[in-house]
Amino acid sequence: MSLFGPRQLAAILFPMPLPEPFDYEVPDGLDVAPGDHVIAPLGKREAQGVVWSVRDAGPADEGRKIKPLLARLDAPALSEAVRRFVDWTAHYLVEPQGVVLRSVLRSPAALKPSPEETVYTLGEARPTRMTPARQRVLDIAGEGRALSAAELAREAGVSVSVVKGLADTDVLISQQVLLDPPYAIPDPYREGLALNDLQERAAVILRRLIAAGGFQAALIDGVTGSGKTEVYFEAIAELLRRDPEAQILVLLPEIALTQAIMARFEARFGAAPAPWHSASPPHERRRTWREVACGRARIVVGARSALFLPFCNLKLLIVDEEHDPTYKQSDGITYHGRDLAVARAKLEGALVILASATPSLESLVNAENGRYVHIHLPARAGTALLPDISTIDLREHPPEKGHWLSPPLLKAMAHALEQGEQVLLYLNRRGFAPLVLCKACGHKMKSPETDRWLVEHRYTGRLVCHVTGFSMAKPKACPECGAEDSLIGVGPGVERVAEEARQCFPDHVVEVFSSDTARNGEAVAELVARMERGEIDILVGTQIAAKGHNFPKLTLVGVVDADLGLAGGDLRAGERTYQTLVQAAGRAGRADKPGRALLQTHEPGHEAIQALVRGDRDAFLEAERMARDMLGMPPYGRLAAIILSGPDPVLLDQTAQEIARAAPLTEGVEIFGPAEPPLAVVRGRYRRRFLIQAERNVDVSAYMRAWAARVKIPSSIRMGIDIEPYNFL
């Protein structure tokens, strides 16, 4: 018994694959509370964890050997809402709590105070002896910027010792500044763009939801170019006017969109938001994490992983382009960003806004059932009109042999270019050719240890696997038969389409816009700026070019292969194709000139393509809804998947059969598999899949957790569980 009262125990959750928190004794004089960051012994080492709960020791704890905590870190505690989000996510995704916590603690350096650096400004003293080197330093310092010794020396073209010598004689004044300063505070009272009547009605609804407070969900269902962003800007402004300490998270599906949206935020609120995505450098992630945890970062714009940031006063979440499949995380923790955003909003008591020109069927059904407030924006903002959309039947108008652009599309391109307008050619296929084979023996180039074709990238002269990242120089001879110069690319990628466009229009500037040609935010921003300035005539792009960009001079969109997403057995193939084509076509005619979209297709009668041409989304969605309802598929049923992988196919199949026999017998649950998926081998590991289909009222997460508890997996076998899978490869 402690002199200070009953012995206290703290349950500590560590950010590692552990199923639950571990108990530790709280030493006398150490004051800890739930959410605190602590250091505790774990095995033979010390580990950093988070206090999940604190309790008095009871009779059941007598005789237990419980190690004491070592220290509490001076860092912002994780809020109760964050801890509940970790618990809920772990249960829902059937993951250990510690694995989810690891996603929250993504920047350990942010738990410490911001590092400082010494910077120098020009003082009033002058050197007793002036030299050209010293004069250059004074000239740079005289510009009024506070620079480090290394920066001053580099810009002046001198050694650091020259700078330090001037500082020693007080010619330069030193001061300590934070390397991670707080972000500027947004001003909600700044004037935004004038809203039209439809936008204002939408903004009024959001203001009412903000005023009501608590958890609520809204779906902004607006056509491309309708001004959805300006509408949710009004919701952000209203919230910050009511609660200046409130925090807002805006999720974007693509890092490529971050640069443009950051500039729009800065123009609207006078301050750039805090960024969070995989391309952010470590010091920026450290800064954002710390400022979010301290409550000083008011607005955060990020990718799906920003959902796990440790907000302490989160009041509004916005999921822009909520339909986008890139919100589904497939590596590590498998989750859908939209679904977790709604869950986190509920746990935080916050408003969540989903926005899209092509909402997912799941969100539309939730809106129709009254779970979400449904906000319509049926017309474009300003004078812009929706583009005219028509098809080109490739059976009647085939391209020339070895080419991919049909005569009607080439004619339309020529007309647009003659008018000084821009063209976007859309093909969601990277590289030059998706398949490389030997014309002598038919050998197909595949990625080693992966059942996947290698994609030819003509710009770099390499063959690349887009699943594993494997890359090799294109061989001069076939590795199978040895024939030289026999390897040819089959099928088109964006590089090949761009090559054809240059041949057909040699006097015009053609650029490729894909993740291969625009690898970071700076490259994306530079290319987008050139397109906006009219320096590019023909842009050939993958899906990165079809999302959120506004090119005033772009009047023609040509979809090279509108059928590309329709192949395979994906239950969302039609919906995704429709969404993708709407987004691509929606880039045309966003200013004062009318737009046009031409879809090259072998299936002009497909319901997704016909719905797009007729502008009859409701008819298409009704057909999708009826088919899903009849089959018991989401949103009218539940799905889950088990993905097994291992180096030995025999052991893998044996394990899969044992797992199948261990499945709980539950009414309303049907199991398919184990089966070999289309992507049967990845990185030398063979793969097997189960698909679990359940009725809507079944707790699929609880079912999968109970099933997983019944099996013991060999150490060489990996098992992953995917709740509501979007990928069936």
**Is 435:550 a contact under the CB 8 Å cutoff?**
no
pLDDT > 80? residue 701: yes
Class of domain 8-105: alpha beta
Class of domain 197-377: alpha beta
3-state secondary structure of 703: helix
Give the model's pLDDT for residue 216.
96
Class of domain 637-723: alpha beta
**Is 728:325 a contact under the CB 8 Å cutoff?**
no
One-letter-per-residue 3-state SS of 95-146: CCHHHHHHHHCCCHHHHCCCCEEEEEEECCCCCCCCCHHHHHHHHHHCCCCC
- Residues 359-366: what's their mean pLDDT? 94
- Tens digit of each residue's pLDDT (9 = 90 or more) over 344-361: 999 999 999 999 988 999
Q: Where are the domains of the chain?
A: 8-105, 116-178, 197-377, 388-429+493-626, 430-491, 637-723
Distance between CA atoms of residues 536 and 523, nearest Å = 15
Supply the mean pLDDT for the chain: 89
Distance between CA atoms of residues 11 and 36, nearest Å = 11
> Which residue in 252, 225, 236 sits closest to 203, CA to CA?
236
- Residues 48-53: what's their mean pLDDT? 96
User: Sorting pLDDT into bands at 50, 70 and 90, what band is 148?
Assistant: confident
**Is 334:93 a contact under the CB 8 Å cutoff?**
yes
- Tens digit of each residue's pLDDT (9 = 90 or more) over 636-659: 999 999 999 999 999 999 999 999
Give the model's pLDDT for residue 383.
57
Distance between CA atoms of residues 219 and 319, nearest Å = 10
Residue 560 to residues 248, 502, 518, 572: CA-CA distances in angstroms? 39, 15, 21, 21
> Which residue in 53, 35, 79 sits closest to 313, CA to CA?
79
Report the predicted TM-score, pTM, of the whole model to 2 decimal places: 0.87
* Structure-block tokens of residue 275: 């960024």
Q: Per mean pLDDT, which range of 312-326, 488-502, 547-561 is the poorest?
A: 547-561
pLDDT > 80? residue 548: no
* Structure-block tokens of residue 89: 């996510």
Distance of CA 315 to the CA centre of its chain: 21
Name the more confident of 582 and 714: 714
Give the model's pLDDT for residue 99.
95
Rg (CA), the chain: 29
- Residues 435-440: what's their mean pLDDT? 89
Give CATH superfamily name and number for 388-429+493-626.
Answer: P-loop containing nucleotide triphosphate hydrolases (3.40.50.300)
- Tens digit of each residue's pLDDT (9 = 90 or more) over 460-505: 888 998 888 888 999 999 998 899 888 888 888 999 999 999 999 9
- Tens digit of each residue's pLDDT (9 = 90 or more) over 613-630: 888 888 888 888 898 899
Distance between CA atoms of residues 387 and 586, nearest Å = 7
| % of the chain exceeding 90 in pLDDT | 55
**Domain 197-377 and domain 388-429+493-626 have a common topology:** yes
